[in-house]
Structures are given as structure tokens and as C-alpha cells.
Amino acid sequence: MTTLHPVTAAPRRAGRREWAGLAVLMLPVLLVSIDNTVLSFALPAIALDLRPSAAVQLWIVDVYPLVLAGLLVTMGSLGDRVGRRRLLLVGATGFAATSVLAAFATSAEALLLARLLLGVFGAALMPCTLSLLRGMFEDRAQRRLAIAVWATGFAAGAAIGPVVGGVLLEVADWGAVFLIAVPMLLPLLVLAPVLVTESRDPAPGPLDPVGMVLSMATLAPAVFAIKHVAVAGPDLLALGCAALGVTAGVALVHRMLARPRPMLDVRLFTVPAFAGSVLVNLLSVMALVGLLYFLSQHLQLVVGLSPLDAALVLVPGTVAMVLASLLVVRLVRRWRPATLMTAGLGLAAAAYAGVAVAGGSGGVVLLVVAFAALAAGVGIAETLSNDLIIAAVPPAEAGAASAVSETAYEVGAVLGTSVLGGLLAATYRSHLEVPAGLDGAQADAARETLAGALALAPTLPADTGAALTASAQAAFVDGSSLTAAGGVVLMALAIVVTRRALRDASA
């Protein structure tokens, strides 16, 4: 008797239309990641113009990735149901309109509100891009390359954000950094319906409004607690918010486990390769954004570079990140992902160590080399971790898996500014020696931020102003060194996770 075996069709290979569609999908990827860091270089100008407090300044930076991260799982699940391309186009329209509002904000509070709305629409954009790739590129080798391009865009966007900001701030005011969304999203709105095929879960479960609320309630209070501790120190408010976030998180997990078709299959986190990749993703972005947070201010407010010159310092790092992300696609054919990720994370740790040891004495050259090394290392880790995450789920659940990947990215961005930025702010305040002759309000303004101290200095007598400037810059350098030491610890933790959780992961 002859035994018949079913013939499995080879995965369809992508053609020109799919690769052109990838180029179109890179527009929102670049934009959303640029918006995460473009504010870093615009921050001094915003601080001098709108005069936000230290807490409001941190919130202006953090509210966008905070809301984005809180809604990503919800939007990923929604895209699986209503159509990923449809949700992408809705998000693009809202993001462009809200960017105009941010550009013309006349107060710190108005800018904060606009950033919040950008987070809402950004959350509608991001899960769709990666999940659409899952359907467009069925061949694993092609999909790995597409994901590498996507990850490169995501990570490089974070790096070129300050470059874009520096160029724009050289020729226009800070509002221009938000207006770039309009020309970047218009081609998407025109070309995506033609080049990007719609995809959705063919048998979706019902929407889960309670789960959506719980997912936001898990993240927002927890991150607020971290931010509050960074600015005001530990107190009952911080403890209460942390407890609320943990309680909501436990309730969310129980709800997801009890539902036959949850919006997020939390059982995926029992798979070491999936959970480990998510954590490495988070820690890598935390390190990258944390470095950018103080590097941009150091270059402008301590070294004295213009926004454009400070941005150009980051160009070698951007190039290094792109090259490393694309090169690792070839290297993973010969070496295991864990080996390559360990090498990349080790490179990032060495970069942070150099900044920590040199402090303010290393000069601009050290900062160029350090950022290039860290960016290359993060590019390697991001590319491989995203590939492992998206490969762990079936195509129907691509939206939810993409949302997890991007949530890790956004939480990492929030924690980079909250934890590392908070450490920098706390060290600055404790090391600042306020000169004699300042009244209480002036002393408080000097302690808030370095930008506040430098804005105050010209209004004081010459000797007092010079003493305040020198003391504030020295305190900021001390904070930068301690923050860099924290970055070394983060990368060491990421290496441990990689070696333990991903040692058996294969390409």
C-alpha cells in the first residue's frame, strides 16, 4: 500500500508590492519613535519658553509613551478585529491633526494635553505596522529581513529624533518638531490603501472593555509611582499608585486566563524565549532613551553646542544602529540569537561604563563613540528580540504580539526618562550648591532643572550668576556619571536575562 502524505505549499514569497508597502509602513514607525526622542533636544527651548516645573517637564516627555504603552494592547486587539490597515489610517489622521495642536501650544499644560492625545493616536498606529508585516511576508527569511528593517526604523527613529529636532530648532522654534508629522503621514494615507493588504483575525473573540480598562490601569499608576518617587521621593501617594497598578495587573491576568479568546494570551509569558525577548526589548530601549535624555541636555547646556551641532553628534550613532541591525540578520544564520544579543548588550554596557568613568572630562569625542557603541548594541538586541516575539505566535494573533513588543518599547522609553532621568534630577538637586544672595524662589528655580538655573543666571549680579552656572553644570555632570552607572547595571541585567531565558532560542 502506498502512503499518501499531504503536500505543504511553500510560503508565498513577497514581491515588489509588499516591499513597497514596507516602505510606506516605515513612515509611522519612524514618526512615532522620532516623537519619543525629538523632545529631548527641543526640551531646553520648551523649558525656556513655557517654563514648566520639573514635574511637568518630565510629564511632557513621559505622557506620550505612557499613554501609548497603556493602549497598545487594546489597540492591537482592536486591529485584529476591525482590520489592521483600517485602524492604521484612523490613527494616522488623528496623529497628524493633534500634532498641529502641539506645535502651537501656548502653555506647558496645553502641550501636555496634546502629547497625551498623540499617545492615543500613536497607539492606534504602532501595533498595526508590525502585525501587517506578519501577513505580508510569509517566508521566514523575508519576514526576518522585513522585521529587521522595521526594528531599525523604530530604533533609528529614536536616534534621529534629536537630529531632526536639532535641524528644525536651528531654523524655527520648538513647535516645528511636531509639524513634521503632517508631511510624513500624508503619503501613508494616500498609498497604504493601494500597497498594503488589509488583514484581521478571521475568527476574533468579542471586544473586552473591562480588559481594556485594566490594561491601562495596570501601567499608568505604576509608572506614575516611579515618576513621583523620582521627583518628590517615596510617599503614600507613590505607594498607593504602585499598589493600584499591581492590583489591576493581577486582575488583568486572571481575566485573560479565564476568557476563551482573551485580547492578550498571557500564557505566552510562560515561554522563556517570548518573555525573555520582551524584557530584553524593554531594558535596551530604557538604556537608549535614558542616555539620550541626559546626553541632549549635556551637549547643549554644559558643552554649549547649538541644537544642530548637538544633533550632529548623534549621526554616527544612528548610522551604527542601522548597520548593526541589518548586519545581524546575516550573522544570525551562523550564531544563536542569545550569543549575538549578549555581544550587543555588552557593547552597550561598555559605552555606559565609559561615560560613567570619564564624567565631564571625556569631551564630545567620548560621547560620540559611546553613543555609537550603545546604539549599535541596542540595534542588535532590538532586531533579534522583535523577530523572536513575532515568530512565537500564529498570524491571527500578530496584532496582540506586536502590541506586546511595542508596549515593551514604550515602557522602556518611559522608564528611561523616569528612572534614569529621575536619578539625574535627584543627583543634580543634591549636588547643586546655591550661591549666597538668592532668595527662596530663585533658589527653588535653580534646583528644579539645569535649564532653570541657566535661565536665572543672567538676571543675577555677574559674580553670583557665574557661580550659579558653574555649580549647576558641575552638579549636572555628577548626575550624568551616576546615571551612566545605572545604565551599566541595566545592561548587565539584560545580559543575564539573555543568557538564561534565550539560550535555547533559535533563528
HEC states along 324-368? HHHHHHHHCCCCCHHHHHHHHHHHHHHHHHHHHHHHHHCHHHHHH
- Structural domain includes residue 381: yes
What is the count of structural domains for the chain? Answer: 1
DSSP string, 379-445: HHHHHHHHHHHHHTS-GGGHHHHHHHHHHHHHHHHHHIIIIIHHHHHHHHHHH--PPTT--HHHHHH
* Choice among 119-133, 142-156, 247-261 with the minimum mean pLDDT: 142-156
- Would the pLDDT of 1 be above 60? no
- Would the pLDDT of 7 be above 50? no
- pLDDT value for 506: 65
More confident residue, 475 or 220: 475
Question: How much of the chain, in percent, has pLDDT values that exceed 90?
Answer: 20
- Structural domain includes residue 226: no
- Structural domain includes residue 347: yes
CB hemisphere CA count around 222 (13 angstroms):
17
- Structural domain includes residue 408: yes
- Structural domain includes residue 233: no
Domain interval for residue 150: 16-208+259-434+473-501
- pLDDT value for 2: 47
**Model confidence pLDDT, tens digit, residues 430-449:** 888 888 878 888 888 888 77
- Structural domain includes residue 458: no
- pLDDT value for 342: 93
**Model confidence pLDDT, tens digit, residues 281-298:** 999 988 888 888 788 788
- Structural domain includes residue 464: no
- pLDDT value for 88: 93
* Sign (positive or negative) of CA dihedral 95, 96, 99, 101: negative
pLDDT band at 488 (very low <50, low <70, confident <90, very high): very high
- pLDDT value for 254: 93
* Sign (positive or negative) of CA dihedral 346, 349, 355, 358: negative
- Would the pLDDT of 273 be above 80? yes
Report in angstroms the alpha-carbon separations of 380 from 202, 337, 338, 386, 421.
34, 9, 11, 10, 24
**Model confidence pLDDT, tens digit, residues 53-69:** 877 887 887 788 778 77
CATH of residue 358's domain is 1.20.1250.20
Q: Region 486-503: what's the mean pLDDT?
A: 90
Which three-class secondary structure state does DSSP give residue 5? coil
User: By the 8 A CB rule, do 149 and 24 touch?
Assistant: no
- Structural domain includes residue 199: yes
Question: How much of the chain, in percent, has pLDDT values that exceed 70?
Answer: 93
Task: Determine phi and psi for 7, rounding to 5 degrees.
Answer: -90, 125
Compute the mean pLDDT over every residue in the chain, rounded to the nearest whole number: 83
Nearest to 317 by CA among 383, 376, 362, 377: 376
- pLDDT value for 219: 76
